[in-house]
Amino acid sequence: MTGNRAYTPADRLLLQADAALRTLLPFSGQPHRASPAVLENEQPLDAASTQHVAGLMRINHTGEVCAQALYQGQALTAKLPEVRAAMEHAAEEEIDHLAWCEQRIRELGSRPSLLNPLFYGLSFGVGALAGLVSDKVSLGFVAATEDQVVKHLDEHLQQIPAEDHKSRAILQQMKSDEQQHATTALEAGGLNFPAPVKFGMSLLAKVMTKSTYRI
């Protein structure tokens, strides 16, 4: 988070590069909160369930990569300092989710998606573009995106085996946080996107989920 210090454009580009590396390099994001999974006992899963849960957690990890890029892009082009600060703070909170998902993926014997750099770049561009349009649109995009994330988390919670308490605890905490992010963005003046725009966003989200489940 940049705080009140005045940064030059070059400084901000370096900060963005640092944020990208901390997002994409394995175990580089340091969570501020311990994973909810540490309070749960590990229960054995069969091979098929393990593979399926790993795929779901890989999707959620990529979603957090996209969230990081989206917030960083919006912070780069936000016009009001308070909006920029809000974006940077939200990105810090999402680091927790990123680290929790990666840790769980490794515990399940798998790895994050190989497509993460591609999705980071695309999301960063979308975030920067939204910030250039207006802060109201930028905040509205955050709210709409978080709504999509909550829907995916609900779907995944229904698919997680009942005995997998660790993955379930992570997703439930993520859902609570994402709902709060969406509410905060709207209360800060974000535009409530119309249904057709949200539908288009859901189609793009399906492309991400289908491709990162296995790759």
pLDDT tens, 106-142?
999 999 988 888 888 888 888 788 777 777 777 887 7
Given a cut of 70, the residues of the chain with pLDDT beneath it are 1-29, 78-91, 194-197, 199, 201
| Half-sphere CA count of 147, side-chain side, radius 13 A | 19
> Has 93 been labeled as part of a binding site?
no
How confident is the model at residue 123, as a pLDDT?
83
Q: Which CATH number, 3.40.190.10, 3.90.1150.10, 1.10.10.60, 1.20.1260.10, labels domain 9-24+43-212?
A: 1.20.1260.10
| pLDDT recorded at residue 54 | 92
Is 146 annotated for ligand binding?
A: yes
**Is 155 flagged in the annotation as binding?**
no
**In this predicted structure, what is the pLDDT of residue 170?**
92
pTM: 0.79
**Of the candidates 185, 100, 93, 91, which has an alpha carbon nearest to the alpha carbon of residue 143?**
185
Domain ranges in the chain are 9-24+43-212
Does the annotation list 64 as a binding residue? yes
Q: What was the pLDDT predicted at 15?
A: 63
User: Do 54 and 103 contact (CB within 8 A), yes or no?
Assistant: no
The answer to whether 187 is a known ligand-binding residue is: no
Q: Give the other-Cβ count within 10 Å of 31's Cβ.
A: 16
